[in-house]
């Protein structure tokens, strides 16, 4: 498949060797069944509900902040650790899905059609790179996809589902809307962003649900905002 250069991939990594550990699912809400396992993604003996210890600590801090602001609400875990084989599976799955939506046969594309679809795919999915200097964020144990559930355990409406390949996924998509319902979507996204940022995460520029801690994307985003003097990722790929 085509290449997509991401600016954060230039960030150096000095892995702190923090362990990849199970997320304490009893304290969070969880999407069930797991969306990619349900599609047949090849996790093998790995669990998607793992993160680095530091990311779990910060996720708990984010939920504590949330519950001070919205009693009874919880963070819902959609996806966390992703082996590179799963990243490849989901890139291929998304590629086929987009081709079919465009009325194209994924096996009979011109080079230009293929490139156009890959450009769309890689706006939302990281390259499933085996290069240890360019791991996909989810393969580091430092990236997590989350949304919110309210006190009645209902998923809070963010205006678009996680993983939707469309401009509605961009975090600020509803920010200037005059529609009261869309303004509510924006407030929900803002709340999620505020609790996660307060806990030390950074948000993916194109995805309201994706937050990183310690990986290359996190370091790159912090550097852009001048939050740290020296930008080094502390989480590399975990196999």
- Identify the pLDDT of residue 194: 98
Q: What is the pLDDT of residues 108-122, one digit of tens each?
A: 999 999 999 999 999
What was the pLDDT predicted at 2?
42
Rg, C-alpha atoms of the chain: 18
Distance CA 75, CA 77 (A): 6
Residue 235 has pLDDT above 60, yes or no: yes
User: What is residue 4's predicted lDDT score, i.e. its pLDDT?
Assistant: 54
pLDDT tens for 171-182 read: 999 999 999 999
56-109 per-position pLDDT tens digit = 999 999 999 999 999 999 999 999 999 999 999 999 999 999 999 999 999 999
**Is 230's pLDDT higher than 90?**
no
Kindly list the domain boundaries of the chain, sorted by start residue: 7-224
What's the confidence (pLDDT) of residue 20?
96
Greater confidence (5 vs 143) lies with: 143
- pTM score of the predicted model: 0.93
What CATH class has 7-224?
Answer: alpha beta
pLDDT in the model for residue 6:
84
* pLDDT greater than 70 at residue 26: yes
Asked if the model's pLDDT at residue 3 lies above 60, the reply is no
Task: Determine the Cα–Cα distance for residues 163 and 141; give it in Å rounded to an integer.
Answer: 19
Over residues 155-162, mean pLDDT: 98
Say if residue 14's pLDDT is above 70. yes
Supply φ then ψ for residue 37, to 5 degrees.
-60, -40
Q: Given a cut of 80, is residue 40 above it in pLDDT? A: yes
Task: Over range 135-158, report the average pLDDT.
Answer: 98
CA-nearest of 158, 139, 156, 160 to 212 is 139
Give the catalytic positions in this structure. Answer: 207
What are the Cα distances from residue 69, in Å, to 42, 66, 87, 146, 150? 38, 5, 35, 17, 12
Q: What is the predicted pLDDT for the residue at 237?
A: 97
List Cβ neighbours of 191 (8 Å cut-off, separation of 6 or more): 66, 69, 70, 148
């Amino acid at each position: 498949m085509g290449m997509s250069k991401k600016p954060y991939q230039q960030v150096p990594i000095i892995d702190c060797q923090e362990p990849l550990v199970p997320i304490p699912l009893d304290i969070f809400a969880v999407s069930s069944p797991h969306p990619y396992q349900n599609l047949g993604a090849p996790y093998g003996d790995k669990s998607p509900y793992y993160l680095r210890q530091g990311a779990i600590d910060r996720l708990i801090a984010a939920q504590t902040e949330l519950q001070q602001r919205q009693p009874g609400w919880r963070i819902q875990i959609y996806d966390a650790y992703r082996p590179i084989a799963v990243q490849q599976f989901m890139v291929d799955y998304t590629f086929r899905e987009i081709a079919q939506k465009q009325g194209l046969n994924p096996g009979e594309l011109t080079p230009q059609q293929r490139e156009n679809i890959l450009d769309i795919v890689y706006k939302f999915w990281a390259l499933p790179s085996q290069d240890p200097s360019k791991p996909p964020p989810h393969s580091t144990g430092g990236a997590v996809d989350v949304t919110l559930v309210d006190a009645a355990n209902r998923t809070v409406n963010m205006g678009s589902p996680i993983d939707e390949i469309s401009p509605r996924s961009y975090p600020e998509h509803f920010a200037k809307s005059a529609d009261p319902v869309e303004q509510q979507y924006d407030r929900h996204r803002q709340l999620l962003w505020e609790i996660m940022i307060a806990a030390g995460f950074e948000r993916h520029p194109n995805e309201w649900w994706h937050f990183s801690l310690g990986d290359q994307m996190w370091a790159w985003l912090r550097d852009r905002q001048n939050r740290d003097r020296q930008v080094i990722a502390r989480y590399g790929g975990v196999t």
